[in-house]
Amino acid sequence: MGNSQISEDELIAILRLHKIPNIGDVIAKKLIRHCGSATAVFTDKQQNLLKIEGVGSFALRGLHDKVHIEAAESEYNYIKTNGIAYSYFMDADYPAYLKHCIDGPLLLFKRGNIDLTGRKIISVVGTRQITSYGTAFCEKFIEDIAPLNPIIVSGFAYGVDICVQRMAVKHGLQTIGCLAHGLNQIYPKVHAKYVSDIEKNGGFMTDFWSSSNPERENFLKRNRIIAGMSEATIVIESAEKGGSLVTADIANSYQ
């Protein structure tokens, strides 16, 4: 799993943009495309940035705040010290389908042995309260598609997520867990025993920094990655208002 070829200064600039409260992934990518790089965003005149469609003074508030520079440098040091791999949205190894999603992450942090080259990607999500029927369906589904050698993406949560990822490991398929927190921790902690097997053939992805904890809103945000990076999203058992259906709705909106 290679790393991006962007420079240290550019990565810190990307992290700065990522940290500014009113600049999300959509606006950050607009700014970078307009200026040519994240570094250039901070050297361009604000009057020029305000000419970009969808960029207002509210979004640019705090653009040069020192606190964001310090936070970006701190996260850069964490990435460097811990050997965290990452993919920038302009990189060749960034998930191809996710590149076409308007709100796809500016930067993806990765751990493990992820190789997306020439592989079909299928997302599987579902209830945390999986039934025996759901478990049997997961097993049969993975067994049936194993000859196609797809990558199985899920959220590493209780229920369907961990069931389908364990089945993928059992059948030698690459599997990726999309996390709702930084790579410095694992949630739920009880699933730590599965980390090694998943990282040997697959791994973990997140757009959250090391300082991010598994807050409720983070799970909905990470669902766009699960839906956006795959060719198909399969829902196995879900409540009428479950997060799995939110993921399915996101996947449908990306079509």
Domain map of the chain by residue range?
1-83, 112-253
Omega within 30 of 0 (cis) for the link into 214: no
For the residues 11-39, what does the mean pLDDT come to? 96
The 10s digit of each residue's pLDDT in 214-241 is: 999 999 899 999 999 999 999 987 655 5
pLDDT in tens, 104-134: 999 999 999 999 999 999 999 998 999 999 9
Mean pLDDT of the region 139-158: 96
What angle in degrees, to the nearest 10, is found between the helix axes of 132-145 and 160-170?
40
Q: How far is Cα of residue 82 from the mean position of the Cα atoms in its chain?
A: 18
Fold type of domain 1-83? DNA polymerase; domain 1 (1.10.150)
Q: Which two tokens stand for residue 205?
A: 């992805």
- Asked whether the domain spanning 112-253 has the same topology as the one spanning 1-83, the reply is no
- Each residue's pLDDT tens digit, 52-111: 999 999 999 999 999 999 999 999 999 999 999 999 999 999 999 999 999 999 999 999
Question: Which element (helix H / strand E) includes 110?
Answer: strand 107-112
Q: Residue 1: its pLDDT value, please?
A: 47
What is the predicted pLDDT for the residue at 225? 96
Q: pLDDT for 161-208, tens place per residue? A: 999 999 999 999 999 999 999 999 999 999 999 999 999 999 999 999
Tokens of 215: 């807050």
Whole-number Å distance between alpha carbons of 178 and 147: 24
State percent of the chain over pLDDT 90.
86
- Residue type at 240 in one-letter notation: E
Domain 112-253 class in CATH: alpha beta
Which pLDDT score is estimated for 234? 92
Residue 237 has a pLDDT of 78
Half-sphere exposure of 194 (CA within 13 A, CB side): 26
